[in-house]
Structure 1
Amino acid sequence: MPTAAAPSSRATERRKAMVLVAIKMLTGDRGKYLGMVLGLVFTTFIMTQQPAMFFGLVKRSYGFVSDAALADIWVMDPMVRYIDDIKPLSDTTVARVRGVEGVGWAVPIYKGTTRVRLADGNFQNSVLIGLDDTTLIGGPPIILSGKLADLRRADGVIVSADGANNRFARPSPRSSEPPIPLMIGDVIEMNERRAVVVGISEATTTNMGVPTIYTTYSRAKSYVPSERKTLSFVLVKAKAGTEVGLVISNIRHWTGLAAVTREQFEQMTLWYVIQNTPAFTLFGLSAIIGFGVGGLIAGQTFYNFTLENLRYFGVMKAMGATNRTLLTMIMAQALVAGAIGYGLGVGLISLFSLVIGPRFPFELSWSLFLVSACGIVLLCVIASGLSMRKVIRLDPASVFKT
């Protein structure tokens, strides 16, 4: 005696067989199949590439803050709006902050720009960062060669890898050969003072693409024109067991300066850059336009594909296929095309990032891939939904009319 589950099992097997038929129908018309897939590849690429460039620029805008990860709090002039909006403070500010209750340690840090005179006499703009002479807190997160402690050597500086390999590289004696990268022991000049390269670091590249140079705080002041105030920020670590929010309130109350956490300073910089940089709006518009154009191409192609195959769906309907089965077939076709297009698009964008990533801002993340995948699924649902209406309303008898 057959069990009650047998009819259900047979229905499932029939649906699986119909899905296989649907996929064969999809790949049988190679022209439209390739058109759908290429449209989805284009959509995936644009939907991922533009936001990745956007997030890359954003990350670079506050990279200096992220690199100084040891500090809990950044202290600055109250009028500072973002990382490069520096309002210099007096060096005595460090001692005032150290005297605030709850402060574990506080160190000065300098951030500014300077012109570097290279060995061949050319000048190159760069970002100069001066670290606390004693602790060297705020230094580059990754040292590729040399040691951070070598900054204490006479005239020692650490240069970012992008600068050492590109902007600061010496021309080769032979024009046909590539430039010679800056190496440990090479000498550069800033503000008519000698600087010896003691290390190469991996630091976050600035949006302007200029190299970054690290040195001690006292030495940094000699590498820039003399000013009455040179302190850019004070980096603070709260005492163990002390709430960071309480320390921030104490610093604001007793010094009259602005004090924010590292995350808050990153957010300040992020929103300022977004609101005041038109390029960020253009990236967002490009992603939306790419989604629309690619979606229209893929959706229109899929819709036309369904219209051309209505007679086959009509025959299946006349043979007893239910609307649910036919809708499952259409949805399967859309999702298969979407999965292939998305996979190829992700592969293309990954290859693209490997080619341009080292030189241009490009930030890929799992969340970005997830969002683009959701966008492709949405396109597939919309395209299949429009096609389903035709199939549901289809009269099976109409396919047999001459």
Structure 2
Amino acid sequence: MKGILRLAFKLLVNDSTKFTALIIGITFAVFLMVEMTSLFAGILNKSSSTVINIGAKMWVMDPAVQTIASSIGMPDYVLDAVRSIDGVKFAVPLYSGAALVRLRDGTYQAVTVIGLDDTTLYGRPKMKAGRIEDIYAENGFLAIDDAEYGKLHSPPLGADFELNDHRGVVVGIATVSSSGLFGTPTLYTTYTRAIQYVPPTRYTTSYILVEPKSPADVAHIKAAVAALGYVAYTKAEFMRRISHFYKYETGLGTNILLMTVISFIVGLSISGQTFYTFILENLEKFGALKAIGAKRHELVAMILFQATFTALTGYGLGVGLCAGSISLARLRIPGYAAMITYGNLTMAFAMVIVIAALSSYLGVSRVLRIEPFDIFRG
């Protein structure tokens, strides 16, 4: 069998033009599939950036909330009621809202303002410069050094700005795990200062962050919150809710799916047609092998080996090309969202297997029908 496979490899690479066309077709298809799904995965990850950065185990919110950016204020009594639920270790309010700041040069910039609980500062970011305690200073804000930091003109410690006719001062620079989706810088401050500086609605509590005493208390907390007319999600559940919104309730998921399907069809058509042409051009060689005693399963093994080799080679090149392009894009565009995940790679690999299987089927069905005397008679 080893000799048969070696012969199959030589037949495959002997025609460099056809072999190159096969590899390019699969590589291009894999590149598009992984690129599109990686972009989608990156967008979904960034859409939950605040949830990831805050890190609370449970989130209480209005049932109508669909994404972290579409918060709906809750009355103050909800916080007191949640704190009184059995199984709650502690619960703190969180403010999340959009604002417009005026920089020193007179330009305006949209920002996201996160107001942390005054007492605990639960969910605070990791400090890069300055002290977290300075957030209590007059007009104190923390600027997040992420991909959008430059939109605030990369303010140093002590830089000031204007927010709704209030003076704000950068007392610290911090970092977070994930930058936001919509390209707006983020400012952290205390909850009290946030609701004073940002134009308030009737209710100011965007979310309530809950720390359960144990995982066993989560179900009871959810039921108690539901009795109040609100909902409680774990961190993972809230992220899935946000992902569900972007997948199925916006055009984003449909567009990415269509691009992935188109990439698959392109790869399948190019590789299938090229591989079938390759088989047709080598029918004489397969017929000669059959005439000198090659068994049917050996011929099938040759074709399967050729299809698998080209598919896996194209897959590796496609993934490498995609990883390189994403890395290069991140160097040039700091806020570039694409990220390669195991799910993306698995889906692309499954599609490549389908491409290899269909290409093999076309080749096997043609080769097994050939009769040696047809070759020699021609």
Structural mapping, 1:188-199, within 5 Å: 188-197=161-170, 198-199=172-173
How far apart, CA to CA, are the structure 2 residues paired with 1:162 and 1:67? Answer: 12
Show the counterpart of 2:202: 228
Q: Give the letter for the 2:302 counterpart.
A: M
Structural mapping, 1:382-393, within 5 Å: 382-393=358-369
Root-mean-square deviation (CA, aligned residues, Å) is 1.8
313 and 31 in structure 1: CA distance in 2 versus 1, 3 angstrom threshold: same
Cα deviation digits, residues 212-267 of structure 1 (max 9, x gap): 111111111122124432110111111247521112212333x3332222222222
- Does residue 127 of the first structure (1) align with residue 112 of the second (2)? yes
How far apart, CA to CA, are the structure 1 residues paired with 2:353 and 2:294? Answer: 26
Which entry has the higher C-alpha Rg, 1 or 2?
Answer: 1
Deviation of 1:138 after TM superposition, in Å, equals 2.1
How far apart, CA to CA, are the structure 1 residues paired with 2:282 and 2:148? Answer: 61
- Does residue 116 of the first structure (1) align with residue 101 of the second (2)? yes
Show the counterpart of 2:343: 367
Deviation of 1:56 after TM superposition, in Å, equals 1.3
Deviation of 1:333 after TM superposition, in Å, equals 0.9
Q: Give the letter for the 1:270 counterpart.
A: S
Report if aligned partners of 2:311, 2:356 keep a CA contact under 8 Å in 1.
yes
- Does residue 400 of the first structure (1) align with residue 373 of the second (2)? no
TM-score (norm 1): 0.88
User: Secondary structure of the equivalent of 2:97?
Assistant: strand
User: Secondary structure of the equivalent of 1:162?
Assistant: coil
User: Secondary structure of the equivalent of 1:78?
Assistant: coil
How far apart, CA to CA, are the structure 2 residues paired with 1:342 and 1:186? Answer: 50
Deviation of 1:59 after TM superposition, in Å, equals 1.6
Show the counterpart of 1:156: 140
Report if aligned partners of 1:117, 1:188 keep a CA contact under 8 Å in 2.
yes
User: Secondary structure of the equivalent of 2:141?
Assistant: strand
- Out of 81, 90, 94, the position equivalent to 2:66 is 81
370 and 163 in structure 1: CA distance in 2 versus 1, 3 angstrom threshold: closer
How far apart, CA to CA, are the structure 2 residues paired with 1:48 and 1:102? Answer: 44
- Out of 7, 10, 13, the position equivalent to 1:27 is 13
Show the counterpart of 1:380: 356
163 and 113 in structure 1: CA distance in 2 versus 1, 3 angstrom threshold: farther
How far apart, CA to CA, are the structure 2 residues paired with 1:352 and 1:147? Answer: 38
147 and 396 in structure 1: CA distance in 2 versus 1, 3 angstrom threshold: farther
Q: Kindly, what percent of the aligned residue pairs are identical?
A: 33
Report if aligned partners of 1:150, 1:199 keep a CA contact under 8 Å in 2.
no
Report if aligned partners of 1:83, 1:269 keep a CA contact under 8 Å in 2.
yes
How far apart, CA to CA, are the structure 2 residues paired with 1:290 and 1:101? Answer: 52
308 and 261 in structure 1: CA distance in 2 versus 1, 3 angstrom threshold: same
Report if aligned partners of 2:115, 2:188 keep a CA contact under 8 Å in 1.
yes
Q: What is the count of residue pairs matched by the alignment?
A: 374
Q: Give the letter for the 1:23 counterpart.
A: F
- Does residue 265 of the first structure (1) align with residue 251 of the second (2)? no
Report if aligned partners of 2:148, 2:184 keep a CA contact under 8 Å in 1.
no
Deviation of 1:116 after TM superposition, in Å, equals 1.3
Q: Give the letter for the 1:234 counterpart.
A: I
How far apart, CA to CA, are the structure 2 residues paired with 1:312 and 1:153? Answer: 83
User: Secondary structure of the equivalent of 2:109?
Assistant: strand
Which ranges in structure 1 are unaligned for 5 or more consecutive residues?
A: 1-14, 170-180
How far apart, CA to CA, are the structure 1 residues paired with 2:149 and 2:60? Answer: 34
284 and 61 in structure 1: CA distance in 2 versus 1, 3 angstrom threshold: same
TM-score (norm 2): 0.93
How far apart, CA to CA, are the structure 1 residues paired with 2:131 and 2:346? Answer: 39
Which ranges in structure 2 are unaligned for 5 or more consecutive residues?
A: none
